[in-house]
A and B are shown apart, each in its own frame.
Chain A
Amino acid sequence: MSTSTSFNRLTPYVFLAPAVVIMALALLYPLGYMIFGSFREWDPSQAMGESTYVGLKNYITLWNDPNFRESTFVTLKFAISVVTVEMFIGVGLALMLDRNLRGMSLLRTLFILPMMIAPVVVGLIWRYMYHPTLGIFNRGLKGVGLESVDWLGQHALLSVIIADIWQWTPFIFILALAALQSLPRSALEASRIDGATGWQQIIYIKLPLMMPVLIVTCLLRLIDAFKVLEVILVMTEGGPGLSTEILALRISRTATEFRELGVAAAMSNYLLMLLLFITVLMLVYNRVMEHRAARASRMIEESD
């Protein structure tokens, strides 16, 4: 056996090398490049070297820019409402449908369709459904003799939120269902013997036991909610006004329309810091809860 094919200390590095090279080249280097560029006045036609250093100017301008604040506010409003509603509906549906049904796998297949198709297509479908005269909603309202609603005008943010809920509630549903079905049967049996009602089982046993999975699910969904862009771009293009212009959309507009790469880079950095903050917060919370649970179980063991 030649040395090149045998196991040695270099083996893991050989396996890891391609991934490291690609991620360093196309993820980490660009991120560093972005941070570097956010301190510069930078035009798309310039190479980085030709741009001028302006210190914290981009960050300060943004901080005082009412439009940027509005965008941040819209982003937070969108992400928080979307995740809250999806968690409630998704977990609720999972609790309701956690039974032995024939055709459950078909049901799950149909449910994941919306999240598999392209965001661009989702935006297209919903833009059609919200259409003032052609859309199914206004036709329905007209059919029962009600006033038509200007969905993508007056209620743009709400309409966008509804579309996202349609697309992503199944994600929460599937994960919550998986968590439910892996719960220890013994705990549920014991509570049933003790005479717990269905609701008591849900509140005191199922939900607490599902909590770790639900927190991870919530975190994943929250991070993804900040990535949403195409659906909103196709449905409203950020309008009317700034009512649906989330940060991701504003970054892309600043870079392509206003041609201010430095400002866009600073904005990306703000968004990244926001996401980092949320991630760390959630992880710390998770760690604390785990710690507390471990201590509780230890106390129970000691008291025995």
Chain B
Amino acid sequence: MALEEKQQHPGFYAILTMLIIMAVGPILMMLINSFKLDVDIISGTSGLLFMPTIQNYETALCDILPYEPEHLDFCALKFGGAFINSLIIALVSTLLTLVIGCMAAYALVRFRFMGRDTASATTLMVRMVPPAVLLVPVFGLWNNEFCIDKASWLGSLIRDNFGGRGDVCLAGTHSGIILIYVAMNLPFVIWILQSFIVQVPRQLEEAARMDGAGPFQVFFKVVLPLIKPGLAAAAIFTFRIAWNEYLLASALSDRDTKTVPILIVNNMSEFNVEWGVIMATGMLLAIPPIIFTLFASRQIITGMTAGAVKG
């Protein structure tokens, strides 16, 4: 190995460096700009010479800061609330998708039963459905069909306690967005986890069964611990989609359940873009996926290759 390394042409390292700059440069630029005042961004003469400030982050998070930032008279951007919404939605849907997807993958791999091939094929086919295709039906269903009549006892209970008019519908609630995210991610998670469950030695499961473990005990105590890398990969991919998604969330959320991507898009379409603040919000949205990538890149790459190659 040492020999081969010596043989590399210096030009090779130059290309490598350039590639790294190309891949990471734009993200670094956003990070740097998020610490600049708009004046510094617009003058732009000094790329790295500026006074770093956290003012942009203060503006973005003004609604959850314990103190009032001096430069603001009015907290217009309710970014903190959206951040919390995003967290709730992403975490809950990731957890649900993992548990449900894992069980389904286990059933598809380990049991021969009627309808197995149909289930398998359907999982594959729905993977190609773009979110945009789901937009119209989900909007219609979540607003008009998946509702509890306000005259029924449960509906009137919710209306009395939480206020609002009309029937109690899924649209505009966290659970409405979570439901569609879980459904959207399930095919992918099932697909990835299947390739990991196949590798679990059957003898282990049979031994546990001999010792008197029921199907759920076998699943939770024997199979799950063995496919942890697969679970990590699946979790990251699910979280990434739920955390980053814009279109369906924008159709389903109301004033109180807006997620971060929606806020960013809304602020981008305004005429006068405040670049510093926007970059700060973008950075806040990008930080969780970046952290995952830095700490679990091996799992991500395993998951990606498992999803594509072993299918």
Closest residue of B by beta carbon distance from A26: B183
Do residues B22 and A166 form an inter-chain contact, with CB atoms below 8 A? yes
Measured CB to CB, the closest approach of chain A to B60, in angstroms, equals 13
Q: Chain A residues with Cβ under 8 A from B244's Cβ?
A: 117-120, 230
Do residues B305 and A174 form an inter-chain contact, with CB atoms below 8 A? yes
Q: Chain B residues with Cβ under 8 A from A202's Cβ?
A: none
* Cα distance A20–B107 in the bound complex, in angstroms: 12
Measured CB to CB, the closest approach of chain B to A114, in angstroms, equals 6
Do residues A268 and B136 form an inter-chain contact, with CB atoms below 8 A? yes
Measured CB to CB, the closest approach of chain B to A274, in angstroms, equals 10
Kindly specify which of B69-77, B154-162, B209-217 makes contact with the partner chain.
B209-217
Q: Chain A residues with Cβ under 8 A from B307's Cβ?
A: 220
Closest residue of A by beta carbon distance from B20: A110
A-B contact count (CB 8 A): 287
Do residues A5 and B214 form an inter-chain contact, with CB atoms below 8 A? yes
Using known A-B contacts A112-B300, A213-B309, determine if residue A34 contacts B145 with beta carbons closer than 8 Å. Answer: no
Measured CB to CB, the closest approach of chain B to A283, in angstroms, equals 10
Interface 0/1 of B179-197, CB less than 8 Å to A: 1101110110010000000
| Chain B interface main SS type | helix
Do residues A255 and B265 form an inter-chain contact, with CB atoms below 8 A? no
Closest residue of B by beta carbon distance from A271: B133
Q: Chain B residues with Cβ under 8 A from A47's Cβ?
A: 144-145
Interface 0/1 of A1-24, CB less than 8 Å to B: 100011101011111101110110
Q: Chain A residues with Cβ under 8 A from B113's Cβ?
A: 9, 12-13
Q: Does B19 contact A (CB under 8 A)?
A: yes
**Residue tally, chain A, CB below 8 Å to B:** 98
Do residues A265 and B137 form an inter-chain contact, with CB atoms below 8 A? yes
Do residues B297 and A105 form an inter-chain contact, with CB atoms below 8 A? yes
Do residues B264 and A18 form an inter-chain contact, with CB atoms below 8 A? no
Which among A33, A117, A217, A247 is the interface contact of B140 at CB below 8 angstroms? A33
Do residues B186 and A272 form an inter-chain contact, with CB atoms below 8 A? no
* Cα distance A119–B125 in the bound complex, in angstroms: 24
Which among B30, B119, B127, B308 is the interface contact of A121 at CB below 8 angstroms? B30
* Cα distance A75–B15 in the bound complex, in angstroms: 32
Do residues A256 and B145 form an inter-chain contact, with CB atoms below 8 A? no
22 A-B pairs with CB atoms under 8 Å apart are A6-B215, A7-B214, A16-B104, A18-B104, A26-B179, A26-B183, A31-B137, A33-B145, A46-B144, A100-B4, A112-B293, A112-B297, A120-B246, A121-B285, A125-B30, A134-B275, A170-B23, A175-B304, A178-B309, A223-B127, A252-B247, A255-B136
Give A contacts to B, CB under 8 Å.
1, 5-7, 9, 11-16, 18-20, 22-23, 25-31, 33-34, 37, 42, 44, 46-48, 93, 96-97, 99-102, 105, 107-114, 116-121, 123-129, 134, 136, 139, 166, 170-171, 174-175, 178-179, 213, 216-217, 220, 223, 226-227, 229-230, 233-234, 237, 247-249, 251-252, 255-256, 261, 264-265, 268, 271-272, 275-276, 279
Q: Can you name 18 extra interface pairs (CB under 8 A) apart from A23-B183, A120-B264, A252-B247?
A: A5-B214, A19-B100, A19-B104, A19-B186, A99-B4, A108-B297, A113-B27, A117-B289, A118-B285, A170-B23, A174-B304, A223-B127, A227-B130, A230-B265, A233-B246, A252-B135, A255-B136, A271-B132
3 cross-chain pairs, A with B, having the tightest CB-CB distances, nearest first: A5-B214, A26-B183, A248-B132
Give B contacts to A, CB under 8 Å.
1, 4-5, 8, 15-16, 19-20, 22-24, 26-27, 29-30, 33, 41-42, 44, 99-101, 103-104, 106-108, 110-111, 113, 116, 119, 122, 125-141, 143-145, 179-180, 182-184, 186-187, 190, 209, 212, 214-217, 219, 240, 243-244, 246-247, 251, 261, 264-265, 268-269, 275, 278-279, 282, 285-286, 289-290, 292-294, 297-298, 300-301, 304-305, 307-309, 311
